[in-house]
Amino acid sequence: MARSLQLKAIIFDVDGTLAYTERDGHLPACNEAFAALGFPIRWTWEEFKALLPIPGNAERMRRALRQLDPPLPPDELEAAVVRLVELKRQFYVEKYAARLPLRPGVARLVEEAVRRGVRLAIVSTSDEEQIRALLRYRLSAWADAFEPILGRRAGVKTAPESPLYRRCLAELGTSPDEVLAIEDSEVGLRAAQAAGLPCAVIYNDYTFGQDFRGAVLVARSLEYFDLETLGALCLGGLDAHDGHRSL
């Protein structure tokens, strides 16, 4: 019989954490939306990477439109942002989500969590429809196990006091010392910390080198971990102020 786990729930970020969505999903969907509305904007991957610290594609698109010459009137600019976001979401859900690779170790860890009764949830800056499309295509057997799913429509993930993480914790009905947040970036780590949650950072090529001080674990992949190991490493009483474990 499997031992009882200290870890009761995992809260996943999505973009760059569950799957490699940015380069092969969000970027081409944004560029396709720009082209569909006739805007002469086409981001390269290097340009898009530089925009990733800005939460949400709506603000990234807004900044790009402000640089057009001649500039758009403010009301036209905001209407264009709304339409761009709608089109981008449609392209992402209908065309790109099915193609996106999960990060190594994600499917195995999700399957183990479901099997052992560990709750799964999502807190993300992405739109809920996009999140559910990714789950439907890439984690179909366990998509219904993620609850709650709190994305852009639920609020601002990076807002002060981290309201989405706090809401997620309340809906899970668990205490922070039984829950692990998994993020890929410094901004995500800070959002989890603001809610008092231990956070493991599973970095990727474009977040490598960011400031991950305060994370309970920093590693390049989830493929090295099972639930027992994550619980022991991340909920084992390591003081975040003293540093983190890096693998």
DSSP for 136-154, please give it. Answer: HHHSGGGGGGEEEEE-GGG
Q: Is the pLDDT of residue 10 over 90?
A: yes
The whole-angstrom separation of Cα 201 and Cα 186 is: 8
Tell me, what's the pLDDT at 53? 87
Average pLDDT over residues 205-234: 95
**Catalytic residue from among 15, 144, 184, 226:** 15
Q: Is 13 a catalytic residue?
A: yes
Tell me, what's the pLDDT at 2? 47
Annotated domain spans of the chain: 9-19+101-246, 23-98
Q: Is 15 a catalytic residue?
A: yes
Say if 9-19+101-246 and 23-98 have the same CATH topology: no
Q: Are 10 and 165 in contact (CB under 8 A)?
A: no
Q: Is the pLDDT of residue 242 over 50?
A: no
Q: Is the pLDDT of residue 173 over 70?
A: yes
Contacts of 76 (CB under 8 A, 6+ apart): none
| Topology, domain 9-19+101-246 | Rossmann fold (3.40.50)
The whole-angstrom separation of Cα 163 and Cα 196 is: 11
From 165, 161, 160, 170, select the one nearest 182 (Cα to Cα).
165
From 109, 69, 93, select the one nearest 202 (Cα to Cα).
109
From 3, 17, 12, 9, select the one nearest 235 (Cα to Cα).
9
The whole-angstrom separation of Cα 213 and Cα 223 is: 22
Tell me, what's the pLDDT at 4? 64
DSSP bridge partners of 10: 120, 180
SS3 label, residue 120: strand
The whole-angstrom separation of Cα 147 and Cα 57 is: 24
The whole-angstrom separation of Cα 73 and Cα 45 is: 28
**Catalytic residue from among 13, 24, 69, 177:** 13
pTM over 0.85: yes
Q: Is the pLDDT of residue 239 over 60?
A: no
The whole-angstrom separation of Cα 43 and Cα 26 is: 11
Per-residue confidence band for 138, with pLDDT thresholds at 50, 70 and 90? very high
Average pLDDT over residues 37-51: 96
Question: Torsions phi, psi of 139, nearest 5?
Answer: -135, 45
For the four alpha carbons of 132, 134, 140 and 141, in that order, the dihedral sign comes to: negative
**What architecture (CATH level 2) is domain 23-98?**
Orthogonal Bundle (1.10)
